[in-house]
Structure 1
Amino acid sequence: MFFPMIIGGLLGYQLARFPGLLVGALAGVLITQYLRNRLRARLTDLQSAFIEPMFSVMGALCKADGVVTRDEIQVAETFFARFRLSEQQQAMAKAAFNRGKSADFDLDAEVARFLRISNGQHLLLQLFLQVQVSAVAADGVVHPQEHAMLVRVARGLGLPEAQVEQLEAMLRGAHGSGHAGTSRASSGQQLDDAYKVLGVSPSVSDAELKKAYRKLMSENHPDKLAGRGMPESMRELAEEKTREITHAYDIVTEARKQAS
Structure 2
Amino acid sequence: MFGLFIGGLIGYLFGRLPGLLIGAAAGAFLTRYIKYRLWQKISNVQTGFLESVFAVMGALCKADGVVTRDEIQVAERLFQQFRLTDESRDKAKAAFNRGKADDFDLDAELQHFLRISGRQPALLQMFLQVQVSAVAADGVVHPAEHEMLLRIARGLGLPESQVDQLEAMLRGSQGGQAGSAQRSTASQLEDAYKVLGVSSSDSDDHIKKVYRKLMSENHPDKLAGRGLPDSMREMAEQKTREISNAYDVIKTARQKA
What TM-score results when the alignment is normalised by the length of structure 2? 0.79
Residues 199, 11 of structure 1: CA spacing in aligned structure 2 closer, same or farther, 3 A cutoff? closer
**1:6 maps to 2:5:** yes
Q: Which residue of 1 aligns with 2:184?
A: 187
Once residues 106 and 20 of structure 1 are traced to their aligned partners in structure 2, the CA distance between those partners, rounded to angstroms, is 55
| 1:76 aligned residue | 78
Instruction: Report what 2:162 is aligned to.
Output: 163
**CA 177–147 in structure 1, closer or farther in 2 if over 3 Å, else same:** farther
Higher relative contact order (CA 8 A, sep 6+): 2
**Pair 1:209–1:132, CA change in 2 (3 A):** same
The alpha-carbon deviation at position 193 of structure 1 amounts to: 1.4
Which moves more between the two structures, 143-152 or 21-30? 21-30
Who is 1:257 aligned against?
255
Q: Give structure 2 stretches of 5+ with no counterpart.
A: none
Query: Do the aligned partners of 2:9 and 2:23 also contact (CA within 8 Å) in 1?
Result: yes
For 2:195, the equivalent position in structure 1 comes to 197
Taking the aligned partners of 1:210 and 1:75, their CA distance within structure 2 comes to: 35
Q: CA deviation at 1:153?
A: 0.9
What letter corresponds to residue 90 of structure 2 in structure 1? A
CA contact (8 A) 1:71 1:139 kept: no
The whole-number CA distance in structure 1 between the counterparts of 2:192 and 2:243 is 8
Q: Which position in structure 1 is the counterpart of 2:122?
A: 123
Contact 1:80 1:90 in 2 (8 A): no
| CA pair 38-168 structure 1, distance change in 2 beyond 3 A | same
**Unpaired runs of 5+ in structure 1?**
none
Q: Identity of paired residues, percent?
A: 59
Task: Count residues with an aligned counterpart.
Answer: 251
Q: How does 1:210-249 map to 2 (within 5 A)?
A: 210-222=208-220, 225=223, 229-231=226-228, 233=230, 237-249=235-247
> CA 1:97 to 1:167, structure 2 compared with 1: closer, same or farther past 3 Å?
same
The aligned amino acid for 1:243 is R
Give the stretch that moved more between structures: 182-191 or 165-174: 182-191
RMSD: 3.1
For residues 34 and 205 of structure 1, the distance between their equivalents in structure 2, rounded to whole angstroms, comes to 48
Match of 2:63 in 1: 64
Which amino acid in structure 2 is aligned with residue 209 of structure 1?
Answer: I
Shift of 1:60: 1.7
Tell me if the contact between 1:191 and 1:251 (Cα under 8 Å) persists in the aligned partners: yes
Shift of 1:131: 1.7
Structure 1 residue 173 displacement after superposition: 1.0
Query: 2 CA distance for matches of 1:237 and 1:20?
Result: 51
**Would the alpha carbon gap of residues 110 and 60 (structure 1) be closer, same or farther in structure 2, given more than 3 Å must change?**
same
Asked if 1 retains the 8 angstrom alpha-carbon contact of 2:117 and 2:123, the reply is: yes
Q: Flag the 1:141–1:204 CA change in 2: closer, same or farther, 3 A.
A: farther
Deviates more, 1:213-222 or 1:54-63: 213-222
Question: Do the aligned residues in 1 keep the contact of 2:44 with 2:116 (CA within 8 Å)?
Answer: no
Q: How far 1:125 moved relative to its partner?
A: 1.7
